[in-house]
Each structure stands twice: as structure tokens, then as C-alpha cells.
Structure 1
């Protein structure tokens, strides 16, 4: 039987059954396929080193990790413990606020980590496959493991009957179905077992994770968490952690605390006035600008993922009663800013406007299959026109002014757009600079990106009084979604 051959190749059923824990010490890199300058080149987001001990049978782990993040250079250093659905973190795990914290972590965060371990620990995988109660289907040298609430895992064995790779279809917003492969090689003896010392993870063929490890068995570990370390998750959040695991791991290893805490609603119950004919939907981490036109509205950015976007879209529709959404502008292709774009176009009759280099990319994602977590567009497909901006595009606004959609050159992406509104002298951008409620320190914020944004405004000859952003900024006490141009000038070092 193929499972017997696999067990023998790994050291035998008795040796596997006698193994209590697996301790992995690894170094490696994580890349994010949703970031970078172009969609086809995942961006390096972290170089990491960790030691992790996992219970081979029970869902328990203890992780000690250090990482150098790249988006915002930060030294992460923390211990994370998960026991069942309960977890705790002690140390620095957030690149945007690198202060030590000792706190419970949400149960969906623990669930995502547990699932990641299940996909990368061969002893834990083998234990699941060899369980007489497991739902396993065998087809030649491929074994498929089915677990309730999780996408099926296809285990492909090599010529020596050892796991060579796992294949899973996950939900990766906004693309939908994504082929995740976990590849194992460099098998070596570890005590009575034979285990891989190199693990690579790909998403749709792009390498996102590459680690070299050493392995030790049966090391004792303290899996205890404080008695009060319970943070519940909604059913949707827990489900998302299990069918979008590697999508979430892109963020946690980048130091972004698991995709902005799986937000579900904007922070304010209604859109906030910015200027006459201009409102903003404020989120815990991402904002949507809404601009009134003669007979419709235009939204700028469609952030995050379907559940959040549905709530944000409801505010967009209420912003200017009687005027439907007819255009949505993507400032750039990064998933956190356009992850909900399929939801924004699902009612039909909505054009998508993006930087010219990303037109094909947006057409593909608007037509991609969504079978793991079907969205509204998957259930009722609509034709959506994607318009590319080569240099600039002008549209008349309801106040008699002009909306100018402009390409801007920065190191962030090749398709970057900013939106300028002539009457209020307002410029909306995402990721280049986050406004502050008070004058920032010179040479602060997003560094070179703030400089490039300010230089771009001057080179384009734009009359800008106010910067409004897709992210709110803070002085540590107060949040601000807009700031005078002078604040940006100071942050840029001028």
C-alpha cells in the first residue's frame, strides 16, 4: 500500500508513532506576490530566522522568530505560542509599530499558523495521513487528504515514496483560486526518521518562501499560554484563515499582523466629508475616496477583500444619493488596495481605470475562477471594461472642476496613479505618504517615496493644497487621512 511505502521511506510507522515533537531551526526569505513593482515579480518582504517546536499530534507550537522586514525596515523579534485555538505573542511582531508587546492573539491567527505548520511539517503530515480515521483518497503516487473546513491537500510522492510536494487550491484575494505548492527536498536522517531540510512554497508558480532548515526530534517545549489569552474570531475569519493560509502568511512574515486584522467594516458608519462633492470611506487601515460627478460617482481604490469591501461599497453607494458608482480607479496593483475590486464591479456597468502597465493584469483577475470562496462576480459574471492610463486622463466633476488621473513615477510600482481634483486643490495617493495630524519631522514617513511624490506634484505643475491618502497617518495619538501639502514637503526634507 502506498501509505505503508511512505511510512517506511520516512523511517517506519513505529518511529513516526514514537515521535512527539519536531523542532525546526531555519533561515530563509519570504516574498509577497501582491507587492513589488510589477505583478510578475514578488517583492522580498523579509529575511527570517526561527526555531519552532511543534507537537506532531496535537495542534500546539512554540515559535521564536527574528526577521528583517523590507517594506518598512524593522527588526522583528518575538515568541509566539499556539495551543489549540488560543495563542499569545511576546515581543516585536509589527513593522509599523516596533514596540514590544505581550498580548493574546486572535484565534484565527493561531488557526492560520497551525495550518501553515500542517503544510510544512512532514511528521505532522504523515501522522494525519496514517490516522485510520483520516479521509484519504489514493490515486497512483498521489494521496489526497480531506479535512473539514480546509481545502483538500494533494500529496505527491517521489520515486522513493517520500512527500515531494503538496498541492492546494487556496483563496488569494482578489485573484481567487491560487495553486499553492509546498516542495520538500534534501531529505536526511534525523534520529530514527528521514526528513526534508529544504522547503519551498510557490503560488501560481512564483516562489514566495524558501527556507533551509535543521531538524531535531522529541525536544521538550513549553506550550502553555496565559489563562486570559483568548481572543475570539468570527466564523468568517476562522474560515478565511484555513482557506487563505499562505496568503495570510505573506503578511505575518512581512510584519503586518495577518492582513490588517481581517477587518470587516469601516471605522465610521458613514463616509466623511473631505470637500464639496468629495467624501472618504475610512477604514481601520485603508480608505476609499468617493468623488461626485454629474450623474454618477467615482471611487478611488477598492481595498482588502470581499467582506470588508461589501461594507465599504455600501458607504460608497450612500455617499451621494441617487448617483450610482460607475468608475473605480486603482492607484496601483497591490492587493491590499484593490483586493475588493471584483466586489466593486459586481453590480455591472462599472469601468475600471488603472495604470496602463497593469491593464492585462486587471482583466485577468476580473475573469479569474473563484471556487474556494465564490464571490458575487463568480456567481453572476459581468463584462467589465478596463481602461489604461498612459500619461493622464481627465474627467469633469460635479463642481465644475476636473478630475485628473495621472501616472506618477516612483519606486513603489510601475503602474502608480494619483488623482487630482482641481476645484478643492486636492490630491489622493496611496502608499507614497501617510498624512500626519501635526507637522512631521523632516525626512520622515515613507522616505524616498515622499520625495518622489512631492517632486512629481511639482513636475506635473499641479495646484495642490491638500494631500488625502489611502492610509491614515498618526502622531501616535490622533489619526489623519489628510494634511496640507506643506506637511508632505517637510516630510520629504524640503
Structure 2
């Protein structure tokens, strides 16, 4: 069949050209869940992110939408409840959309947040997909019953049309999902029913490399032939402009971003591009830290080299953080790295560190194979430095404590610990400075916290493991900063937060 034949078959199955041309807006009411393949206790065991309910009104042929969403998150239990409006390059959100600070907001949102949402709506709506293919001059090609839509600035979108029914049943695209690079995102459409003059799916499932990450059941879908401009009106405010990199990020990593956003971490809409300060900050002699907007990297001076702990987020951020790692102790190359655990946001930029050459990577034994796989994965959607400059990497699984000499005559100790957060969790202890570095178990606070505050059982487990190991700790340094960018706090603060 020709491209036109396959497209005509899909158009007819969805209700016909006249019905599709008349469809201006769709209103979708749904419930569902979201999971994260990179947040479980092991790499191939997705973590529950949230259960959600939403009502979406979107302009089928355009970038305008109104999304009212409520959700119960799991990473940090929070009840999200907000309404978000996108209108081209401007947008606005009102309500609770951030799990770390669940106070209502009423603020403008950046253009790349709007663009990320629109990409997601395009992938999950057969009406939007087929309408895009009907635009004069659209770049569409058929291979059998698979229609490929090519759009500037987006990965190709492949729409599988059921040859029997003519209905779109599967959409595939390849996104960048750091640290694994190219990932196949598939959207599955099921339970098609008639809604007015069109036929639409009431079950939508999204998988990433065949792992289910999103499922929604649509209880109501209404298609209208008119649009109420007031529905998409954005309160007057200065538009938050986007850089070219941020806009590109919103299109080639849309589902990676949204997995975090469903958990209530809105800053993943941003493409963080550099640390907060112009250089690494001193913690103790021979110990520095690179402070990021959301994640930190520890740098330790060893006798003839440096060691870094954590390579956060994605290559575009870590490449800038790496500059500060290199300048922390001039003349000493970065040759060792510790990943506290495999969660994507803490090791997403590890390939940037590896492209520096000659890197030894210490990781918890259960995920050694996962880390080795990171350095063999294809990165074609958004090639990173390592893709163009691969270097030998040595992955060392850690079971028993690893003791390494530091430049100050003390030791750096890498310890496996027991934690519900991940099966491969590790902490780093510096004997001279009496510092322990950890990630995700507790965020340092500027003052004494309330008993049992913040991460609950994780903080308790961290403190108990420090005691079990007999570590003489005075200061806890976090892979995440707490309030007021506090990145270090006395052990006593952790003990109180642990409820002990």
C-alpha cells in the first residue's frame, strides 16, 4: 500500500476526513499510574511514582492546552493538585506541583515546560498524530502499515496502523533517557470507542524499552468543533524564554522528563546547564564540593589524582560540573569515581566523566553489569562526548569495604550499606575530615530538624549503618542540598531526623 493509502485507512477508521477536520479540541478525563525504571531497588524493577487523575483540554491542531491534575506521589509522599495552562511559548501553573515544597504556587512556567507537555500530548493522541500528518507539506512515509512522521526538532514518530481495522495501535519513537542513551518509547492504544463523530482509544500505555512506565484509563473523551479562547488564557506575565538547548531537550527527552514530573519534581522541566557557583567549594582540606541546582558532586584529593562521587543528571550538566572537578585540585587528573547508587539522576552524566579517560568506577556489586552496559549503549538521538570519544573504563564491584589513601594521610572508605532505597547503596567516609557523603537518604538542614523529619526510614537506616560500621563521623554531606542550599550538617542533625 502507498503512504496515502495507509493514511487514508487510518483517517477513515478514526471517523473520516470531515470529522477529523472538524475536531478542534478534545477533552479527556482519565486516571492512571506512573512508574520510573530508574528509581527502583534494582535497575529492572520500576518504582511506583504516582497515581493520578486528570482532565485535559487540548487544541488538537495546536500547542494550547489546559491540564488539571491531582496525584498521590510516592518518592516523597505528597498530594499534587494543580492546573497548568500552555499557550504557545507561554504558560502558567496554579496549585501544588512540587513535592519538596508542597505550598501552592501561582506562577508563569517556562516555554520548554509547555513544549514538553505538547510533545507528550502528541504521542498519546491518535487525533493529534493523524492531524499532523494531514497538514499540507507534512513529511510522512509508509513502510508497510507503519507511518513515519518527521518533524523538525523531534525524533521520528512511527505510527503502527492495524491492517485489519485501520486504527493506530502503537506509536514508537526513540528518545534519550540518560544514562542509557537511546531508549525506545512506545505508546499503545487499546479499547477504541466512538465519541461523537470520531473513534478514540480509552486505554493508553507507555513503555520504555518494553518496561511499562505509564498507564491511563480514560473515562470520558469529548471532541468539540469549536474552541473557547478563554480556556487557554494565560495570566499576564513576562514569558519565560527558552534556550535552544532547553527546547531541544523538551523534544528528545520528553517522557524521561515527565516521569520525574509525575513524582512532583518540577525542576526536571529545566535543562540544568551548570553548577550554582563559579567553582567548587571547600569542605575540608583536600575535600571540595560542586554545588548544583539540585544535585552535588564531591571531589577528594588523592596522592596523585582526584576521586569524584556522583555524576548527576545528564551530559549537558555534568560536562560543566566536570570543569569544576578538574579545577578542584590542579595538576591531578580525575581517575576514580564512586556512584553511590544506580538511580539515573545521580549517575546520568557518568559518561562525561569517563570521556576524560582512564576512569575506574566503584559501584555496588548488584549493579556492576548495569554500569558496564552504560558504556556500550548507543547515543544517537543526542550524542554525548563519550559517543564521539569513547575511552577505556574499569568498573569495580564493591562488596567489602574499599579503603583508599588520601593526600592528607588519611583514608577514603567506600562502604556498602543496607537501604530500602536501592540494593547497591554506598556511602563514602573520609577519616581525617570525619565526613560521610550520602545521597537520597537525608538532605542536610541548616538547623536542627524535627524528630523523624524528611526521609523517615531512609534517614534512620543511614544513621544505624554509620553506627554499625563504627565510623567516627562529625559531618554529613549530601548529594542533594537541603533548605538554603545547605550541603553539610552535624551528625547530631541526622540522628534527630532519624528519630533516634
Give the alignment's TM-score, normalised by structure 2.
0.97
> What is the number of equivalent residue pairs in this alignment?
491
Match for residue 425 of structure 1 among 429, 434, 438: 434
Q: Which residue of 1 aligns with 2:216?
A: 211
Give how far 1:258 is off. 4.5
User: Equivalents in 2 of 1:244, 1:354: separation in Å?
Assistant: 26
> Structure 1 residues 138 and 260 mapped into 2: Cα distance closer, same or farther (>3 Å)?
closer
Contact 2:113–2:269 (Cα < 8 Å) also in 1: no
**Could you list the per-position Cα deviations for residues 419-475 of structure 1 after superposition, in whole angstroms to 9, with x for gaps in the alignment?**
01111111000000001111111110210000000000011111111101101111x
Q: Which residue of 1 aligns with 2:417?
A: 408
User: Equivalents in 2 of 1:190, 1:133: separation in Å?
Assistant: 29
Deviating 4+ runs (over 4 angstroms): none
Contact 1:359–1:387 (Cα < 8 Å) also in 2: yes
> Could you say what secondary structure the match of 2:38 adopts?
coil
Cα RMSD after superposing both structures: 1.0
Q: Which residue of 1 aligns with 2:174?
A: 169
Contact 2:19–2:197 (Cα < 8 Å) also in 1: yes
Contact 2:68–2:83 (Cα < 8 Å) also in 1: yes
User: Equivalents in 1 of 2:270, 2:463: separation in Å?
Assistant: 31
> Could you say what secondary structure the match of 2:232 adopts?
coil
Match for residue 293 of structure 2 among 272, 284, 287: 284
Contact 2:250–2:269 (Cα < 8 Å) also in 1: no
> Could you say what secondary structure the match of 2:289 adopts?
strand
> Could you say what secondary structure the match of 1:268 adopts?
coil
User: Equivalents in 1 of 2:223, 2:269: separation in Å?
Assistant: 35
Q: Does 1:101 align with 2:110?
A: no
Contact 1:47–1:69 (Cα < 8 Å) also in 2: yes
User: Equivalents in 2 of 1:483, 1:389: separation in Å?
Assistant: 27
Q: Which residue of 1 aligns with 2:394?
A: 385
Name structure 2 gaps, 5 residues minimum: none
Q: Which residue of 2 aligns with 1:397?
A: 406
> Could you say what secondary structure the match of 2:353 adopts?
helix
User: Equivalents in 1 of 2:25, 2:453: separation in Å?
Assistant: 46
User: Equivalents in 1 of 2:367, 2:269: separation in Å?
Assistant: 25
Q: Which residue of 2 aligns with 1:69?
A: 73
User: Equivalents in 1 of 2:116, 2:461: separation in Å?
Assistant: 37
Match for residue 38 of structure 1 among 37, 42, 57: 42
Give how far 1:220 is off. 5.0
> Structure 1 residues 265 and 328 mapped into 2: Cα distance closer, same or farther (>3 Å)?
same
> Could you say what secondary structure the match of 1:413 adopts?
coil
Q: Does 1:488 align with 2:490?
A: no
Q: Which residue of 1 aligns with 2:143?
A: 139
> Could you say what secondary structure the match of 1:96 adopts?
coil
Q: Which residue of 2 aligns with 1:230?
A: 239
Match for residue 48 of structure 1 among 36, 49, 52: 52
Q: Which residue of 2 aligns with 1:192?
A: 197
Q: Does 1:92 align with 2:96?
A: yes
Give how far 1:229 is off. 4.7
Q: Which residue of 2 aligns with 1:250?
A: 259
Contact 1:53–1:63 (Cα < 8 Å) also in 2: yes
Give how far 1:131 is off. 2.0
User: Equivalents in 2 of 1:428, 1:362: separation in Å?
Assistant: 21
Name structure 1 gaps, 5 residues minimum: none
User: Equivalents in 2 of 1:493, 1:457: separation in Å?
Assistant: 15
> Could you say what secondary structure the match of 2:486 adopts?
strand
> Could you say what secondary structure the match of 1:385 adopts?
strand
Give the alignment's TM-score, normalised by structure 1.
0.98
Match for residue 134 of structure 2 among 108, 130, 136: 130
Contact 1:248–1:258 (Cα < 8 Å) also in 2: no
Match for residue 469 of structure 1 among 458, 469, 478: 478
Which range moves more in the overlay, 124-133 or 367-376?
Answer: 124-133
User: Equivalents in 2 of 1:98, 1:12: separation in Å?
Assistant: 45
Give how far 1:227 is off. 2.7
Q: Does 1:271 align with 2:311?
A: no
